Amino acid sequence: MKILGIDYGRSKIGLAIADGPLAAPWKVIKYKDAKILVENIKEIIQKEGIEKTVVGVSEGEMGEESKKFAGEIGAITFDETLSTQDAQARSMEAGIGQKKRHKMEDAYAAAIMLQNFLDFVNA
């Protein structure tokens, strides 16, 4: 089953893909218009043959925005608490340079959240 993981943010989102038991960072999409973003994600889901989409949610106002976004694209939600911090730490441990790390940080966070989801459902 091909699964898309999304780390939602107000100006950019990170995407990760899993086509089996392991999640991998894919790309980061910057956006200005949330409606266009929703259409773009729906197009990606169709084009890539995505069977399930998971949006990471945190607490508070951002969590509520993430849940709303998930509903607009027909996704399920999963806790992403501390995924960005984990992504930063793991990227530094792996020796990824600061420029590349900053550019792909949201995709790494999406991959961590998606991997946590996969581990949870397969436990």
Q: Domains of the chain, with CATH numbers?
A: 6-121 (3.30.420.140)
Q: Which residue has the tokens 């020796």?
A: 95
pLDDT in tens, 27-43: 999 999 999 999 999 99
Residue 26 amino acid letter: W
pLDDT at site 25: 93
Per-residue pLDDT at 68 exceeds 60 = yes
What is the average pLDDT across 85-95? 60
| Rounded-to-integer distance, Cα 41 and Cα 29, Å | 10
Residue 90 amino acid letter: R
The pTM score is 0.86
pLDDT at site 122: 83
What is the average pLDDT across 98-117? 80
